[in-house]
Amino acid sequence: MSCPQPAAQPQSELQSESESTAAVRSADVYLLFAHEPYHPGPGTKEINTTVVAADSLLHPLVRQPDGVRIHALLTRGRQPREIVPLATLTHELNGGADWPKTGDWEGVTADLMHLVRNQRCDALSLGLSTTARALVCTGPHSHVRAYDATTRAFITYGPAERATVLDEAGQFLTDLTAERPLWPGDALLPPLRHLP
């Protein structure tokens, strides 16, 4: 399934929004999550990470109300066309401690993979390197150490390299969506107006 979500430095806890303090939501946001690798066909590259439109979380075949609540968190205060790794949401949810109040991320991502594999929504499927995958599976301020057998030294990768991985995914997404946006699926549920 998805890679483990390590505890990260927590930000402030989510609070209920009121009409006067409602955060701006962006519909043009994407969720990136890692999963068990698979090969889509003979001779194809391994796929281990997927990007879906945020609105795919509103699909009726995704565990609900978990998908709707994760959608509210994902779209709150984001930049247009932003790709948000699942690990970033974990970081924002008090290092993962608040996932139980928000939703079952494992069940939701499994449901999203079912939609993708059965062509019930569009997705950008990626085959990230081990290091790149590790970077998107950690919080935005975390570091990943990798051993370089050539130099016999450990190399530390951090936020700058993570941003590069996300920028590269963003370029793939831009190319993929040049003619039409990612289709989130049909018969979508309405989004939450406020976080619970």
Q: What is the predicted pLDDT for the residue at 27?
A: 72
- Please say if the pLDDT value at position 2 is more than 50: no
Q: Answer with the residue of higher pLDDT: 196 or 109.
A: 109
Q: Percentage of residues in the chain with pLDDT exceeding 90?
A: 76
Q: Answer with the residue of higher pLDDT: 124 or 15.
A: 124
pLDDT tens digits, 128-163: 999 999 999 999 999 999 988 899 999 999 999 999
- Please say if the pLDDT value at position 167 is more than 90: yes
Find, among 49, 142, 27, the residue nearest to 96 by Cα: 142
Band (44; pLDDT cuts 50, 70, 90): confident
Encoded tokens for 174: 């831009």
Q: Which strand ranges, in their side-by-side order, compose the sheet holding 82-85?
A: 82-85, 29-38, 47-53, 124-126
- Please say if the pLDDT value at position 40 is more than 90: no
Q: Answer with the residue of higher pLDDT: 168 or 41.
A: 168
Q: What is the DSSP letter of 31?
A: E
pLDDT tens digits, 91-112: 999 999 999 999 999 999 999 9
Q: What is the predicted pLDDT for the residue at 195?
A: 58
Q: What is the predicted pLDDT for the residue at 41?
A: 83
Q: Where are the alpha helices (DSSP H) in 8-158?
A: 66-75, 86-92, 99-102, 105-117, 130-136
Q: What is the mean pLDDT of residues 19-42?
A: 78
Q: What is the mean pLDDT of residues 18-25?
A: 44
Q: What is the mean pLDDT of residues 7-26?
A: 41
Angle between helices 105-117 and 66-75 (to 10 degrees): 90
Q: What is the mean pLDDT of residues 81-85?
A: 97
User: What is the largest distance, in Å, between two alpha-carbon atoms of the chain?
Assistant: 57
- Please say if the pLDDT value at position 55 is more than 60: yes
Buried b (16+ CB within 10 A) or exposed e, 16-53: ebeeeeeeebbebbbbbbbbeeeeeeeeeeebbbbbbb
By the 8 A CB rule, do 107 and 63 touch? yes
Cis bond before residue 10 (omega within 30° of 0): no
The position carrying tokens 């796929």 is 47
Q: What does the alpha-carbon distance between residue 190 and residue 60 come to, in Å, rounded to a whole number? A: 10
Q: What does the alpha-carbon distance between residue 82 and residue 181 come to, in Å, rounded to a whole number? A: 13
Q: What is the predicted pLDDT for the residue at 52?
A: 98
Phi then psi dihedrals of residue 161, to 5 deg: -70, -35
How far out from the chain centre does Cα 182 lie? 15
Find, among 171, 89, 82, the residue nearest to 126 by Cα: 171
Q: What is the mean pLDDT of residues 15-21?
A: 34
* Mean pLDDT, the chain, integer: 87
